[in-house]
């Protein structure tokens, strides 16, 4: 009880949703996220293990971002040399319980300062040679979708949008990120990461996140607040998700073209 009350003070959730709901949810995992000031003090997580090379993330959508407009995000990620995956995900605001999507889908609650998002995602590992066919040979990016992912996407399209648009998807991006693991000796509740993103426009973003089981979420929130305070880490004003900022940037480019 003490941890939950402390978490509510430093990591508030919207009215009507409490930490008890998060703990008792059907989610597979919880991720707590906090944006940091880009020009703030160095973060001690940077001394942790860094993932080899940069990650590059692409959005798979129509040229006009019709899927994003419907609240559906399809991401192709280069996670390392010849390591790729594709994720179809949909987010619901302020819903601790709700749709799970296909049987193979995972549900994660993204806890942000003053907000909570329920993310349902269906992921697949990609054959690097198939990815190369899209990047280098001009093969249609829609071929990267599995049958299950395509069928789910068809159910997520709003009325008026034809399934045929899934044959005309293009790759937007990339968004370049570097990810660092916080050593266990510094953060022992869940798995903590620092992610540094650089957008095509030059905009930079730093996000500190903690991934844990739903049952550990209140304790992880308290630990995150203490970590920020102990290391005098400056938090950014307001909070926008990485994807929301990226979509905004892509739309500006589409409108100015």
CA angle 17–22–27, rounded 5-degree value = 130
Q: 184 by DSSP, 3-state: which?
A: coil
Give me the mean pLDDT over the 157-170 stretch: 87
Burial class (CB in 10 A: 0-12, 13-18, 19+), 155: exposed
Domain boundaries, the chain: 2-256
| 156 three-class SS | helix
Q: What are phi and psi of 217, to 5 degrees?
A: -60, -45
Place 47 in a pLDDT band, splitting at 50, 70 and 90. Answer: very low
Fold for 2-256, please state it.
Hypothetical Protein Pfu-838710-001 (2.40.320)
Q: Other CB atoms closer than 10 Å to residue 219's CB: what's the count?
A: 18
Question: pTM of the prediction?
Answer: 0.85
Q: Supply the pLDDT for residue 146.
A: 95
**Which residue's structure tokens are 């508030």?**
12
Q: If we measure between CA atoms, which residue out of 157, 174, 89 comes closest to residue 123?
A: 89
Percent share of the chain, pLDDT over 90: 36
Instruction: Give helix then strand counts, H and E, for the chain.
Output: 7, 9
The neighbour count for residue 146, using CB atoms within 10 Å, is: 16
Confidence tier at 190 by pLDDT (50, 70, 90): confident
Answer yes or no: is pLDDT of 88 > 90.
Answer: yes
List pLDDT tens digits, range 104-162: 999 999 988 878 889 999 999 999 999 998 888 888 999 999 999 999 999 998 888 88
Query: What does the chain come to in residues?
Result: 257
């Amino acid at each position: 009880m003490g941890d939950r009350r402390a978490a509510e003070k430093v990591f508030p959730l919207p009215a009507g949703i409490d930490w008890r709901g998060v703990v008792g949810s059907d989610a597979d995992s919880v991720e707590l996220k906090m944006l940091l000031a880009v020009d703030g003090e160095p973060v001690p997580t940077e001394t942790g293990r860094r993932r080899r090379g940069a990650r590059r993330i692409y959005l798979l959508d129509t040229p006009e971002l019709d899927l994003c407009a419907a609240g559906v995000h399809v991401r192709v990620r280069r996670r390392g040399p010849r390591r790729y995956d594709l994720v179809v995900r949909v987010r619901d605001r302020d819903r601790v319980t709700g749709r799970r999507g296909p049987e193979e889908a995972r549900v994660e609650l993204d806890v942000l300062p003053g907000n909570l998002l329920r993310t349902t995602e269906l992921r697949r590992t990609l054959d690097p040679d198939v990815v190369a066919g899209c990047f280098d040979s001009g093969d249609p990016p829609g071929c990267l979708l599995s049958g299950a992912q395509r069928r789910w996407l068809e159910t997520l399209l709003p009325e008026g949008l034809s399934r045929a648009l899934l044959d005309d998807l293009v790759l937007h991006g990339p968004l370049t990120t570097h990810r660092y693991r916080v050593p266990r000796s510094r953060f022992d509740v869940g798995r903590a990461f620092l992610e540094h993103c650089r957008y095509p426009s030059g905009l930079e973003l730093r996000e500190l996140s903690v991934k844990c089981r739903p049952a550990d979420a209140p304790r992880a929130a308290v630990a995150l607040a203490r970590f920020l305070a102990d290391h005098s880490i400056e938090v950014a004003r307001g909070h926008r998700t990485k994807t929301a900022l990226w979509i905004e940037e892509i739309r500006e480019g589409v409108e100015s073209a």
